[in-house]
Amino acid sequence: MFAVPDEVRNVMTQRKKSQREAATANVIWGGRFADGPGQIMEEINASISFDQRLYRQDIAASKAHTAMLAAQGIISASDSRAISEGLDVIISEIETGIFPFSTALEDIHMNVEARLMELIGEPAGRLHTARSRNDQVATDFRLWVRDALDGLDRGIQEFQRILIGRAEEHAATIMPGYTHLQTGQPVTLGHHLLAYVEMLGRDRGRVADCRVRMNENPLGSGALAGTSFPIDREKTSSDLGFNCPTANSLDAVSDRDFALEFLSLASILAVHMSRLAEELVIWSNASFGFVELPDSFSSGSSMLPQKKNPDAAELVRAKSGRVIGSLNGLLIVMKGLPLAYSKDMQEDKEPVFETSDTLELCLSAMTGMMTDIHFASARMAKAAGAGQSNATDLADWLVRVLGKPFREAHHITGTLVKLAEDKACGLEELSLADMQAIESGITEDIFVVLRLENSVNSRTSFGGTAPANVRAACTAAKDKYL
């Protein structure tokens, strides 16, 4: 066991006093200060309540740093070993919930270092050689965001997996396709679901891009200018899984664009989820009746016994606001900050943590809802037939079979639509005589063309809605994304 040095015994005694008193002599940077921060200062200055989430990354980076210091002969191998073992003890203390977090020690970096001092004494003081909290926090935070990106990618992929499965199941289920939320043309439900698979695929592309760009190691940049010690930044980079060391120390300690990129891609993903969530809200409305949401993602009304509310979908729709707010918030924090580090940047973590949690929750909710949602195929098909959604099929037939210019075909069809509306029926319910009165070339064949199945089956252009396309697209999506 290590002997407990005086300075460490002091810290331990201080911890037994009030927090205010404990703050009066900060062991890490107390040398220059006669008095400790007032309580309000302590409160505004401390980040430990939230940055304790960086503990794994902080300790991993410290271990890489100390191993490098030893390999370079900057500290002794035995000190490095003591530091590393002490850090392992700290990890287990944190994970078993017995670590004594202290706001007087501001942040995760100083909490860990002070505890290390308590545990191993003098060698702990060597850990911070050739390092500043500025490059330390930049490193920890990048490592954290990198893990978050990896988790996010897995979460999005799982959501895609469910959507592709449901799309395959409903490759030929007909539903109305809308523009302006007015019936446009019939489409297949599978095609509609695959639209989200594509959006999510691009979201994952943004995750991957962000990961590549951010995966550079700030450690070794010091406070802002680098260090005079003969450090090996390549070693810490490879030990921590970074592609390379950052090229400019001023940039490395002061850029937070990786966090902004994370929040940007998060915002776009949240917007994608909110659009599907909105569709679930609309589709579950009784006037539509296209879906029945799983009970497990709905709630009842305290007053209206018949109600089943799409709360989870509404909340996914709403939570996009928080995510976008986080992006805006951090952009505003960063805007106009002079180089290099400013304490303003301590405000970078909460929006990122909160966004990561929010996305995880929303992805789980959307994945759960889409797994168990019931699609009312008959209702969808009925709605698909309303609103003269087959008008384009008629116009296309006039072009294809009668050789009409599309503009003329459009006009003839418009006249027939007007006639059908006057008779309060669908185009397919007009008699052949009625149609021929407007365009004599129309034959019986038109009634086959006007059938909804025929309409969707005919949309075989690449990227179109035909069931055969949807089946092929599901296979392609599985290859590409799963």
Footprint of ligand ARG (CB under 6 A) = 47, 51, 107, 133-134, 137, 341, 343, 345-346
The structure tokens 């409305």 sit at 285
Q: C-beta of 46: minimal distance to ligand ARG in Å?
A: 8
Q: Which residue's structure tokens are 């390092």?
A: 131
Residue 188 to residue 369: CA distance in whole angstroms: 20
Catalytic hit among 301, 342, 374, 431: 301
Least spacing, CB of residue 352 vs ligand ARG, in Å: 11
In the complex with ligand ARG, the residue whose CB is nearer, 107 or 239, is 107
Judged by beta carbon, residue 37 or residue 176, the one nearer ligand ARG is 37
Instruction: Return d(Cα 259, Cα 32) in angstroms, integer.
Output: 33
Distance of closest approach, residue 255 Cβ to ligand ARG, in angstroms: 13
To the query of whether residue 301 is one of the catalytic residues in this protein, the response is yes
For the bound state, the minimum distance from the C-beta of residue 51 to ligand ARG, rounded and expressed in Å, comes to 6
Using the minimum distance from each CB to ligand ARG, give the nearer residue, 42 or 51.
51
Residue 468 burial (C-beta neighbours within 10 Å; 0-12, 13-18, 19+): middle
Of 133 and 404, nearer to ligand ARG (C-beta) is: 133
- Closest contact distance (angstroms) between CB of 256 and ligand ARG is 10
| CB of residue 137 to ligand ARG, shortest distance in Å | 4
Q: How far is the CB of 34 from ligand ARG (least distance, A)?
A: 19
Q: Minimum Å distance from CB 21 to ligand ARG? A: 22
Catalytic, out of 180, 287, 296, 302: 180
Rg for the chain, CA atoms, rounded: 31
Q: How far does the chain reach from its first CA to its final CA, in angstroms?
A: 51
Q: 259 or 316, CB closer to ligand ARG?
A: 259
Write the secondary structure of the chain as one string of H (helix), E (strand) and C (coil): CCCCCHHHHHHHHHHHCCHHHHCCCCCCCHHHCCCCCCHHHHHHHCCHHHHHHHHHHHHHHHHHHHHHHHHCCCCCHHHHHHHHHHHHHHHHHHHCCCCCCCHHHCCHHHHHHHHHHHHHCHHHHHCCCCCCHHHHHHHHHHHHHHHHHHHHHHHHHHHHHHHHHHHHHCCCCEEEEEECCEEEEEEEHHHHHHHHHHHHHHHHHHHHHHHHHHCEECCCCCCCCCCCCCCCHHHHHHHCCCCEECCCHHHHHHCCHHHHHHHHHHHHHHHHHHHHHHHHHHHHCCCCCCEECCHHHCECCCCCCCCCECHHHHHHHHHHHHHHHHHHHHHHHHCCCCCCCCHHHHHHHHHHHHHHHHHHHHHHHHHHHHHHCEECHHHHHHHHHCCCCCHHHHHHHHHHHHCCCHHHHHHHHHHHHHHHHHCCCCHHHCCHHHHHHHCCCCCCCHHHHCCHHHHHHHCCCCCCCCHHHHHHHHHHHHHHHC
Q: Is 411 a catalytic residue?
A: no
Smallest distance from the beta carbon of 262 to ligand ARG, in angstroms?
16
Q: Which is nearer to ligand ARG, 103 or 215 (CB)?
A: 103
Nearer to ligand ARG, 38 or 205 (CB): 38
**CA gap 311, 146 in Å, rounded:** 32
Residue closer to ligand ARG, measured from CB, 28 or 437: 28
Whichever of 167 and 259 has its CB closer to ligand ARG, that residue is 259
State the catalytic residues. 180, 301
